[in-house]
Amino acid sequence: MDEAYMQVVMSIIMHAGNSKGLAHQALDAAKQGDFDAASDYMKQANDALADAHNVQTDLLTKEAQGEHTEVNLYMVHAQDHLMNAITYKDLVGEFIELYQTK
C-alpha cells in the first residue's frame, strides 16, 4: 500500500470526521436556541462532507477510467466514517428542526 493511497483514505476520514464534529456543534447550538450558529455549523458540516465526497468521486472516476482502486480494511473504514457522518448530519438536521418548533 503506497502513501498516496493512505492519503486518500485519511482524507476521507478527516473530512467525514470534521463534518460529524461540526454537525454535533450545530446540535449543541440548537439546544441552546442559537439557530443562526446551528445553521452556520451545518453549512460547514455540508462543506466538509462535500470535500469527502469529492475525494470519493475522484476514486469513482478513476475506477470508471479503468484505474482500479484497492479495497481493503482501511478503505472500508474510511467509507464507514463517511456514511456515518452523512447519517449523523442528516439526523442532526431533523433534530434542529424539532428544536425550532419548541
Q: Which pLDDT score is estimated for 70?
A: 85
What pLDDT score was predicted for residue 102? Answer: 75
Catalytic residue positions, numbered:
77
- Under a CB-based contact definition with an 8 Å cutoff, are residues 52 and 85 in contact? yes
Query: Does an H or E element contain 24, and which?
Result: helix 3-31
Binding residues for Mg(2+): 80
Pick out the residues of the known binding site: 80
pTM score, two decimals?
0.91
In tens, the pLDDT along 20-45 reads: 999 999 999 999 999 999 999 999 99
For the CA atoms of 34, 21, 61, 58, what is the dihedral angle to 10 degrees? Answer: 110
CA diameter of the chain: 52
Domain boundaries, the chain: 3-100
Which of 5-9, 62-66, 89-93 has the largest mean confidence? 89-93
How far is residue 37 CA from its own chain's centroid?
Answer: 19
Domain topology for 3-100: Methane Monooxygenase Hydroxylase; Chain G, domain 1 (1.20.58)
Q: Where are the alpha helices (DSSP H) in 32-100?
A: 35-64, 73-100
Segment 67-83, tens digit of pLDDT:
998 899 999 999 999 99
